[in-house]
Structure 1
Amino acid sequence: MIPKEQFWQFNSTILITTAVMIMMGTLLYIAYKLSKK
């Protein structure tokens, strides 16, 4: 059984990583769209 604090720490790490990846992807998409014009 995993301690709750450790679980939440792990969960928040995944959320932050996912958020960063989404932001990076969005920025790359915008940069790509702008460079195509």
Structure 2
Amino acid sequence: RLAEENWTDVFKNFVLAVSIIIQIVVFCACAQYLSDQ
């Protein structure tokens, strides 16, 4: 089984990836909203 440190690394990488995806989605939504105006 994985060590405790490996799980924290996986969790940090997961949070980082999710935050980047959220930023991209928000950016695309804002760009779409502005282009519609």
TM-score, normalising length: structure 1: 0.92
Query: How many Å apart are 1:22 and its aligned residue?
Result: 0.4
- Structure 1, unaligned runs of 5 or more: none
- Structure 2, unaligned runs of 5 or more: none
Which segments of structure 1 move beyond 4 Å, counting only runs of 4 or more? none
Taking the aligned partners of 1:29 and 1:2, their CA distance within structure 2 comes to: 38
Q: Percent identity?
A: 14
Taking the aligned partners of 1:29 and 1:14, their CA distance within structure 2 comes to: 22
What's the RMSD between the two structures over aligned residues? Answer: 0.5
